[in-house]
């Protein structure tokens, strides 16, 4: 790690690799609510999160169980910085719908994308790595380990 931090060309190569990797540009979005609430659509997500940058892919699935509706979506941006800007604030309001979002690549645990699909996961705080982008440093929160 020290060798990478001393070589500016190596730092640039690592950043370019991260830009190519879709996992570094992906964001997980979830909405929980009653069945009578409007559910998320890919058009709603594309128009709302499109202000942060161009969206490469948006997939969404809706489950209905016991009087509640749960919408889960994965949004892949074309640029990593757009995903970072969207994830700076983990809660968003789209019309009258509240959603939570997180970048699975920021989570410490292996297979975070799969783990994030469990109910109640988004109650844990996460932290954007420091010095990644100067604009994100003022809105970070301390990270907590989930109880097992």
CA distance 93 to 6: 42
Tokens of 135: 């604009």
Cβ atoms of 129 and 137 closer than 8 Å: no
Count how many domains the chain has.
1
Residue 36 included in any domain = yes
Residue 35 included in any domain = yes
Predicted pLDDT of residue 131: 46
Q: pLDDT digits over 115-127, tens only?
A: 455 544 444 444 4
Predicted pLDDT of residue 53: 92
Residue 16 included in any domain = no
Residue 4 included in any domain = no
Mean pLDDT calculated for residue range 6-32: 75
Residue 21 clears pLDDT 80, i.e. is over it:
no
Q: pLDDT digits over 77-109, tens only?
A: 998 889 888 888 888 888 888 888 888 776 655
Where residue 131 falls (left for φ over 0; alpha for ψ -120 to 50; beta otherwise) is: left
For position 111, which CATH number holds? 3.30.70.330
Domain limits at 118?
A: 25-139
List the single range of 5-9, 48-52, 105-109 with lowest mean pLDDT.
105-109
Residue 140 clears pLDDT 50, i.e. is over it:
no
Cβ atoms of 103 and 26 closer than 8 Å: yes
Residue 118 included in any domain = yes
Mean pLDDT calculated for residue range 125-143: 43
DSSP tally for the chain: helices H, then strands E: 5, 5
């Amino acid at each position: 790690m020290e060798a990478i931090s001393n070589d500016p060309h190596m730092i640039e190569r690592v950043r370019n690799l991260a830009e190519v990797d879709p996992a570094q540009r992906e964001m997980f979005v979830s909405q929980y609510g009653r069945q009578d609430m409007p559910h998320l659509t890919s058009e709603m997500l594309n128009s709302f999160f499109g202000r942060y940058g161009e969206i490469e892919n948006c997939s969404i699935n809706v489950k209905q169980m016991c009087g509640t509706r749960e919408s889960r979506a994965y949004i892949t941006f074309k640029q990593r910085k757009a995903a970072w800007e969207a994830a700076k604030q983990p809660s968003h309001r789209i019309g009258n719908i509240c959603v939570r979002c997180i970048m699975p690549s920021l989570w410490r645990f292996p297979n975070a994308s799969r783990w994030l699909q469990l109910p109640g996961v988004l109650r844990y705080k996460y932290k954007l790595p420091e010095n990644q982008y100067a604009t994100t440093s003022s809105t970070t929160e301390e990270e907590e380990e989930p109880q097992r």
